[in-house]
Amino acid sequence: MIRFSKTWTIVLILAILLPVWVFWIAPSDWDAVLIYPLSTAFLAALVIAMIAGGNKFSYMHLFFWIFVYIMFGISALAQVSQNSWPWPGYYSTDQISRAYGIIWIGLMIYEIAYHFRKKQKLDNKISEITNNIDPQKDQGSPGIKLAVLSVFLAIITYGYLISQDIPIITLRDDYSTLLLDAYGTIGYAFVLFLTQSLPLITFLWIISEYKSHPSNKSSRILYFLVGIMLTGVLIISSNPIVAPRWWFSTVFIAILLVGWGKSKRILFLLGLGIPLIYILLFPYLDLFRTYDTFERIMSSSRSGYLENLLEGDFDSLQQIMNTQVYVKYQGITYGRQLLGVIAYWIPRGLWINKPLDTGVMVAEYLSYPYTNLSSPLWAEGLINFGILGVFLFLAFWGYVSGMLDNVYQFYSVAFQPYPVFLLPLFYMLVPAQHFLIRGSLLVATLFISSPILVSLVWSWINRINRYMTRPKYLKSDLRANNGNLPQER
């Protein structure tokens, strides 16, 4: 009986069976340009196999290459072979070749930056904080306090919505329309923050915090009760009926990671399962968006699956080519788009010429009737600074990914003490990076920055609180040591 290892199982399915399946449902004559998506899919499958099958807990790295495999491998293979694209447009072999040249340059720079950061030791500042943390005294239970506040704010928010005759569970487009009409863009974003982002980050925080205090059994019931309440909030606000697919999947995967991220079986299942689920099932998760989507998702034929790969969910390759067209005739923006991302919090009323997000700007230039399109990280770099921007953007994300994987592996896998606020950010960013990489960057930053800021600000509040109350700890240590000062660790 032949037994395949985990690594070769992933290679067999992702690098061989899925491409063959795409050719089967999309029969076409062989064209040399197909080598680009095929080689990209095969390379991405090998990297995924080495990480997930090789039992390397590098989740940021893993999910980045899953994105590459799906967007620039399998779905691009279907689109190039059929010369059919999610949005209107015709692209020559030369345009496709240049687009993959940009993609591969970005992948190379990402890998260099990622492994450069992975080989570095953790920052001295973080190490210093870690070495001086007493889990029982210095950290306290800031997550519980934030979780209680989060539950209270969510209940108040839901109570207010119900009092205004706004249903909290309805089809997603209807729910969004009701909130936008009643409260405007800022109010809509605030409701989502109080009912989605804040509950998720606090839920991840209290689980991470509880796992870092294994000897503290007295607060077990408190953690359990608060966790149950936060679970209820997330079920209401982040289910696939009212929440976008990217947010629902972010919540689901983040909870999976915080609970079982150190399991080699979960690592393997994510490495193999996420590409399959995304390609086969992700388009159907739009079931509850509108009433019209029910009819669209009922097809189960081979051509139905092929049509999914040719729709807007998989438009990353086309959007890079569209951005190339924009840059060719309009030139680069010399960082103006990036400035709009950094200063997204400035109201458009105060900044009249505030940049549109890149996907909308490119779509409007091409006269598309629908303009809410994606803009992959490669396209964002290209439109800001040309090929230099591709270097800068992918190098930055590779460096950040290596840093976060370092944090997780050192603090969680190696069972070292850690600043608890780092891990919730890791658990959330791993699945959310799909939205960040796919873009557009302005929209992704708007949604992802709020939980990051909450976690960082709350950790600083807790640090200040520890500093202000440290004399109490010193007095307690003096009494415990019969008047002798505690020794330095």
| 3-state SS string for 153-214 | HHHHHHHHHHHCCCCCCCCHHHHHHHHHHHHHHHHHHHHHHHHHHHHHHHHHHHHHHHHCCC
Q: What is the pLDDT of residue 488?
A: 39
Q: Which residues of the chain have pLDDT under 50?
A: 1-2, 123-140, 299-302, 415, 417-418, 473-475, 477-478, 480-489
Q: How many other β-carbons are positioned within 10 Å of the β-carbon of residue 382?
A: 26
Residue 328 buriedness (CB in 10 A; 0-12 / 13-18 / 19+): exposed
Q: What is the pLDDT of residue 220?
A: 76
Q: Which residue, 371, 394, 395, 383, is CA-closest to 337? A: 383
Max CA pair span of the chain: 85
pLDDT at 449: 84
The per-residue pLDDT for range 151-182, each reduced to its tens digit, is 999 999 999 888 888 888 777 777 888 888 88
> What pLDDT is recorded for position 22?
82
Residue 136: its pLDDT value, please?
40
The conformation of residue 311, written as its DSSP 8-state character, comes to S
pLDDT given at position 343: 86
Which residues neighbour 45 within 8 Å (Cβ) at sequence distance 6 or greater? 10, 11, 14, 15, 69, 73
Give residue 486's pLDDT. 45
Q: How large is the angle between the packed helices 264-280 and 18-25, nearest 10 degrees?
A: 10
**Is the entire prediction scored with pTM above 0.75?**
yes
Of residues 270, 265, 318, 244, the one with CA closest to residue 61? 270
126-144 CB burial, b ≥16 within 10 A, e <16: beebbeebebeebbbbbbb
pLDDT of residue 279: 83
